Amino acid sequence: MSLVINDLFPAILSLFPNEKLNFYRTEKRGKLYTKYCYLKKSFKNRLFIIPVPEENTKADKITRDDHAEEIIQHLKYDNLTAEEFESCWQASANYRIHQIKEKFNSIQQVFVDWPEYKKPNGYRLIDLDFGTIFPNHDNFLVDWKQKVLKLFLHLKRSECLKDGATKIIISSMSEGDLEKDETSFAFKTFWCLHGYLYPTGHVMKKDNTGKRCTIRFTIKDSQESYAFVGQSLQNLDDYIDFLSQRKENIQPFILSVGDNNYSKFTEFFLYLDGTKIPFQSFLRCMDICFKSFYLFNVEYPKASTTFWTFIEAYFYKLALPQGKKTLKINILMQELEDF
């Protein structure tokens, strides 16, 4: 290593003539070598290799790591560089996932201990931890075009949609729209999918007077528990206030600013427990929204459970527990395979 470090000195001076050798060299091995040894020593007990889980390992199989508490102290209290922070974050992933699964009873408790998830770059941390749970999952963003296009063609040709509004949207679309505007095409296709994977179950809820009653979710309920489109940021805030007044838990879902025709969007957000995390890409926002359910141990919204379960099976190819994949999902996946 000392030979490599010594070779750096003339290289630095040749690239930067104004630099001085004594900035880097002392009477012994040199300042660069000293800095390297210091960093190596300081991280010797800090980082470790993360055990690789089995394929499609679920969060309940992730175990606590005995070395993680020391690393978490560095995360919480040390002034780490971005690279050091990410290394420590990945090194403590198993401990954190086990903690979310076993210790916390709600998503709110998760964010009290781990507020980093709700920061603007928190989506990267969600992505890293989901990758620890499912190291071999299909990447939603890699082949989404082929899958969404096949889904669109099936919905358009099979005339399987039950809702007049989704029929109008799907009939106004064409295969060539995918190349013109990927975001609008993908959003409309997913939006219309709710017209096929509509909710069928009944649930008990309280009405405005507090009386318990049995209701059946509508296609619109399914769509708006997945994504809400407003014409302004104020519309988004008003919708969140409306949901909060119903005194129900608000699961992660997508917020967007766009027009009434779902043809033009200007902003996307992932709603996480009172925080709107901004995204440039709708598909990336949807990807992180899905991963949030698994990471934070949160159930899918009851109104859109069938929709999200299909996304889980078709786009991520995760091994679903027996009974989770409904007959309608099985039929749709078989039809897409045979399409």
Tell me the per-residue pLDDT of 84-133, one tens digit each, with 9 for 90 and over.
888 889 989 999 999 999 999 889 999 999 999 999 889 999 999 999 99
Give me the amino acid identity at 126: I
The arithmetic mean of pLDDT across residues 286-306, rounded, is 94
pLDDT of residue 57: 42
Residue 227 near residue 218, CB atoms below 8 Å: no
pLDDT of residue 2: 46
- Dihedral class, residue 56 (left if φ above 0, else alpha if ψ from -120 to 50, else beta): left
Whole-number average pLDDT of the chain: 82
- The residue among 135, 128, 176 whose CA lies nearest residue 152 is 176
Is the confidence at residue 50, as pLDDT, over 90? Answer: no
The arithmetic mean of pLDDT across residues 310-335, rounded, is 83
pLDDT of residue 29: 53
Is the confidence at residue 45, as pLDDT, over 80? Answer: no
Is the confidence at residue 64, as pLDDT, over 50? Answer: no
pLDDT of residue 54: 41
Here the contacts of 147-151 (C-beta below 8 Å, separation 24 or greater) are 147/314, 147/315, 148/178, 148/185, 148/186, 148/189, 148/190, 149/175, 149/178, 150/336, 150/339, 151/189, 151/193, 151/314, 151/336
More confident residue, 266 or 2: 266
pLDDT of residue 210: 65
Here the contacts of 235-240 (C-beta below 8 Å, separation 24 or greater) are 236/269, 236/276, 240/271
Lowest mean pLDDT among 67-81, 242-256, 266-280, 325-339: 67-81
The upper half-sphere exposure of residue 137, i.e. CA atoms within 13 Å in the direction of its Cβ, equals: 28
Lowest mean pLDDT among 191-200, 202-211, 225-234: 202-211
pLDDT of residue 165: 92
The arithmetic mean of pLDDT across residues 320-335, rounded, is 79
The arithmetic mean of pLDDT across residues 189-209, rounded, is 81
pLDDT digits (tens, 9 = 90+) for 140-173: 999 899 999 999 999 988 678 878 899 999 999 9
For helices 122-133 and 93-102, the axis angle rounded to 10 degrees is 90
The arithmetic mean of pLDDT across residues 296-311, rounded, is 93
pLDDT of residue 254: 98
Report the alpha-carbon distance of residue 186 to residue 200 in Å, rounded.
24
pLDDT of residue 49: 35
Label residue 325 by pLDDT band (50, 70, 90): low
Label residue 66 by pLDDT band (50, 70, 90): low
pLDDT of residue 34: 56
Lowest mean pLDDT among 53-57, 158-162, 269-273: 53-57
pLDDT of residue 327: 84
Is the confidence at residue 276, as pLDDT, over 90? Answer: yes
The arithmetic mean of pLDDT across residues 177-196, rounded, is 96
The phi and psi torsions of 337 (rounded to 5 degrees) equal -65, -35
pLDDT of residue 9: 62
Share of the chain above pLDDT 90, in %: 51
pLDDT of residue 61: 42
Label residue 59 by pLDDT band (50, 70, 90): very low
